[in-house]
């Protein structure tokens, strides 16, 4: 009888251990998938930028610095596939630069009326919103994962299998600040 009870306890502990391990794997996978969603939206934005720049070029004779900054940031973002923190920093800088392009339409009424520009701006705005949502989803999945690896008894399984806390995406100071937009008063 004692042997049966011991076997039942051992089987229950093994089942608990496997269940805890599987829950950690699921949460880690969900966190990675959440990051992938950010990557998808960043790629989508990067694909839209060349079309936007082509549309804006004809109207913005005096905004070459802003346009070249956007191109440089886009290229930097495309070439940076390793560090999440750097990726998000460059992404934030790019978002701030794109806000300058959004403001261009106020100085160029013909640009504001251009159907292609309007379509691209709508797509970029939607993409920026999706990036923000994806960041929120990622941080939520990080919170769930980190909470799970810090609570008992899951923390024991996490330590045995070397699960480490995931890093939150934080809003940079640049992203929190209002962008400085200046337009040259020169004419052609």
Q: Cα dist. 83→74, 107, 114, 138 in Å?
A: 16, 37, 38, 15
| 183 domain-assigned | no
| 176 domain-assigned | no
| 175 domain-assigned | no
Distance CA 112, CA 1 (A): 83
Higher pLDDT: 89 or 38? It is 38
Q: How confident is the model at residue 107 (pLDDT cuts 50, 70, 90)?
A: confident
Range of the domain at 124: 2-165
Q: Is 110 exposed, middle or buried, given 0-12, 13-18 or 19+ CB atoms closer than 10 A?
A: exposed
What is the model's pLDDT at position 188? 41
Number of compact structural domains in the chain: 1
Range with top average pLDDT, 10-14, 77-81, 122-126, 182-186: 10-14
Mean pLDDT, residues 33-45 taken together: 92
147-173 b/e with 16+ CB inside 10 Å = b?
Answer: ebbeeeebeebbeeeebeebeebeebe
| 80 domain-assigned | yes
The chain-wide mean pLDDT, for the chain, equals: 84
What is the model's pLDDT at position 183? 45
| 19 domain-assigned | yes
The CATH number of the domain where 128 resides is what? 1.20.1440.20
Mean pLDDT, residues 129-133 taken together: 93
| 174 domain-assigned | no
């Amino acid at each position: 009888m004692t042997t049966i009870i011991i076997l039942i306890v051992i089987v229950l502990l093994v089942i608990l251990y496997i269940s805890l391990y599987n829950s950690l794997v699921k949460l880690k996978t969900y966190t990675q998938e959440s990051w992938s969603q950010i990557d998808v939206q960043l790629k989508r934005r990067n694909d839209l930028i060349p079309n936007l720049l082509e549309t804006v070029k004809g109207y913005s004779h005096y905004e070459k610095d802003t346009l070249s900054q956007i191109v440089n940031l886009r290229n930097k973002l495309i070439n940076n596939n390793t560090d999440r923190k750097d990726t998000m920093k460059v992404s934030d800088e790019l978002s701030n630069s794109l806000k300058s392009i959004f403001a261009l339409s106020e100085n160029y009424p013909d640009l504001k009326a251009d159907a292609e520009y309007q379509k691209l701006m709508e797509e970029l705005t939607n993409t920026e919103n999706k990036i923000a949502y994806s960041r929120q989803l990622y941080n939520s999945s990080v919170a769930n994962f980190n909470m799970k690896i810090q609570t008992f008894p899951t923390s024991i399984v996490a330590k045995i299998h070397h699960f480490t806390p995931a890093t939150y995406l934080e809003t940079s100071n640049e992203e929190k600040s209002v962008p400085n937009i200046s337009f040259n008063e020169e004419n052609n």
